[in-house]
Amino acid sequence: MYGNNPYNMDNRNDPSGLYHCYATTNGPNCNPAINAHIRLSYSDDWIVQIYFGINDPGEFWIRYFYSGSTWTAWKCYKASS
């Protein structure tokens, strides 16, 4: 588990893991102050990020970086009850 404040979500050199942060830059539009996110990387140019805002229960965001390109836009998913 890693914690950086503020955490730049565009950083491609960080290891895979669970991150908890008080503040982020380049996060999704919801971008609550307190969040947790999962980063899974095969290499520095094949990465997926899953973002959970602590104050947004039932909602999470995903984006990808692949083929040495650029980050995709954040896409919001809502859990159904």
Per-residue pLDDT reduced to its tens digit, 11-45: 888 889 998 888 888 888 765 678 889 999 998 88
Whole-prediction pTM value?
A: 0.84
Cα distance between residue 51 and residue 76, in whole Å: 9
Domain limits for position 51: 7-78
Contacts of 78 (CB under 8 A, 6+ apart): 58, 59
* Domain contains 60: yes
* Domain contains 1: no
Cα distance between residue 31 and residue 5, in whole Å: 14
Cα distance between residue 28 and residue 41, in whole Å: 19
Average pLDDT over residues 1-15: 79
Number of domains in the chain: 1
pLDDT at 4: 67
State what percent of residues in the chain have pLDDT above 70.
90
* Domain contains 28: yes
* Domain contains 23: yes
User: Which residues lie across from 39 on neighbouring strands?
Assistant: 17, 49
